[in-house]
Amino acid sequence: MTRIFSGIKPTGHLTLGNYLGALRRWVEVDQHQADALFSVVDRHALTVEHDPARVRRLSRQAATLLLAAGLDPELCTIFVQSHVDEHARLSCLLECTATDGEVRRMIQYREKGTQARAAGQSVRLSLLTYPVLMAADILAYGADEVPVGEDQTQHVELTRDLAVRFNQRYGHTFTVPRATHPPVAARVMDLQDPTSKMGKSHDSGAGIVCLLDEADVVRKKIMRAVTDSGREVEYDRATRPGLANLMEILAGCQGGNPDDLAGVYESYGALKKDTAEAVVELLRPVRERHAELAADPGYVDKVLGQGAERARSVARPTVDAAYRAIGLLPA
């Protein structure tokens, strides 16, 4: 059976980008078709300036939202990364497989490093080693597929390189995974700055739709989305990024194709209105279910406890095999 692994960082409130780019497919497709594991990767949230209480709160909220969006603990495994030691054990070995040159090339490291420096903060060493920990997340589970948004392609490529290199040097140990992306909305852009990704930790809240935003807030953000001064509704990501983003969001909500929306709308206003309503309807059940689940933290804890136990049992044999293969003396 195909094995799937993916993760989400508790660095901020989950966004429409997380939902359309990753979470929705985990719910609708992946958990039904594969042995799927989904993790709130909390150690990744420590790679940038953080507030301990906030990370703890956001980790619980992210887990609750995974359930609210429809991940079913009967069908898949849901857990918190730091509850399973195998991630840390394996990332040590992969740090001895990766080179500093290849991790320094990662776009996310360069962007986040620049942001931290611009804010007068130091760059944590863990920001540099982050993709190695991510590779450990994936390889520990022998994942065949990693369903992610487009921004994670480079990290999954590095994971593949590390798996191949380790296998060549020390004998076959790891499955070489591949990234999978949704057909549309694999990269949802910021509504106020459609040339940059809609990201959780972005400063401007106005361009980001959070999964828990009230319906009226969602409407306001989408109606105020930046578009160009043209009139015709046509799909062109390069020259009309704001418009294209709205069309992708609407197509993503409806399960259609953004190209097919060109010609359907006579004005930007009409497109925005339909996009806003489609997003509101998409998120309504998630918000409602989140409210119910948040009132029962005992249930969420139980799911996470069972998930961690299953995750450990899947990861341990592979990580133990990697310890032996690389030359460490068995205990």
Pick one of ligand TRP, ligand AMP, none as the site partner of residue 5 (Cβ within 5 to 8 A by kind): ligand TRP
Q: Strand 178-180 relative to strand 145-147: parallel, antiparallel, unpaired?
A: parallel
Answer yes or no whether residue 6 interacts with ligand TRP by CB under 6 A. yes
Pick one of ligand AMP, ligand TRP, none as the site partner of residue 200 (Cβ within 5 to 8 A by kind): ligand AMP
Binding marks (x or -) toward ligand AMP, 122..151, rule CB under 6 A?
--------------------------xx-x
Answer yes or no whether residue 197 interacts with ligand AMP by CB under 6 A. yes
Binding marks (x or -) toward ligand AMP, 7..26, rule CB under 6 A?
-xx-------xx--xx----
Pick one of ligand AMP, ligand TRP, none as the site partner of residue 17 (Cβ within 5 to 8 A by kind): ligand AMP
Pick one of ligand TRP, ligand AMP, none as the site partner of residue 67 (Cβ within 5 to 8 A by kind): none
Answer yes or no whether residue 202 interacts with ligand AMP by CB under 6 A. no
Q: How far is the CB of 182 from ligand AMP (least distance, A)?
A: 8
**Among residue numbers 279 through 318, which ones bind ligand TRP (CB under 6 A)?**
none
Binding marks (x or -) toward ligand AMP, 240..279, rule CB under 6 A?
----------------------------------------
For every residue of the chain, which 3-state class applies, written as one string?
Answer: CCEEEEEECCCCCCEHHHHHHHHHHHHHHHHHHCEEEEEECHHHHHCCCCCHHHHHHHHHHHHHHHHHCCCCCCCCEEEEHHHCCHHHHHHHHHHCCCCHHHHHCCHHHHHHHHHHHHCCCCCCHHHHHHHHHHHHHHHCCCCCEEECCHHHHHHHHHHHHHHHHHHHHHCCCCCCCEEECCCCCCCCECCCCCCCECCCCCCCHHHCCECCCCHHHHHHHHHCCCCCCCCCCCCCCCCCHHHHHHHHHHHHHHCCCHHHHCCCCCCHHHHHHHHHHHHHHHHHHHHHHHHHHHCCHHHHHHHHHHHHHHHHHHHHHHHHHHHHHHCCCCC
Q: Work out which of 65, 66, 138, 186 binds ligand TRP, going by CB under 6 A.
A: 138
Answer yes or no whether residue 28 interacts with ligand AMP by CB under 6 A. no
Q: How far is the CB of 98 from ligand TRP (least distance, A)?
A: 15
Q: How far is the CB of 22 from ligand AMP (least distance, A)?
A: 4
Q: What is the rounded radius of gyration, in angstroms, for the C-alpha atoms of the chain?
A: 20
Pick one of ligand AMP, ligand TRP, none as the site partner of residue 138 (Cβ within 5 to 8 A by kind): ligand TRP
Distance CA 99, CA 223 (A): 46
**Among residue numbers 148 through 207, which ones bind ligand TRP (CB under 6 A)?**
148, 152, 155
Active site residue 197: yes
Distance CA 42, CA 58 (A): 9
Phi-psi region of 175 (alpha: psi -120 to 50; beta: other; left: phi over 0): beta
Pick one of ligand AMP, ligand TRP, none as the site partner of residue 194 (Cβ within 5 to 8 A by kind): none
Q: Which is nearer to ligand TRP, 146 or 276 (CB)?
A: 146
Distance CA 185, CA 244 (A): 10
Q: How big is the site for ligand TRP, counted in residues (CB under 6 A)?
A: 13
Q: How big is the site for ligand AMP, counted in residues (CB under 6 A)?
A: 17
Give the residue numbers annotated as catalytic, written as ranges. Answer: 112, 197, 200
Residues at the site binding ligand AMP, with contacts judged by CB under 6 A: 8-9, 17-18, 21-22, 148-149, 151-152, 186-188, 197-200
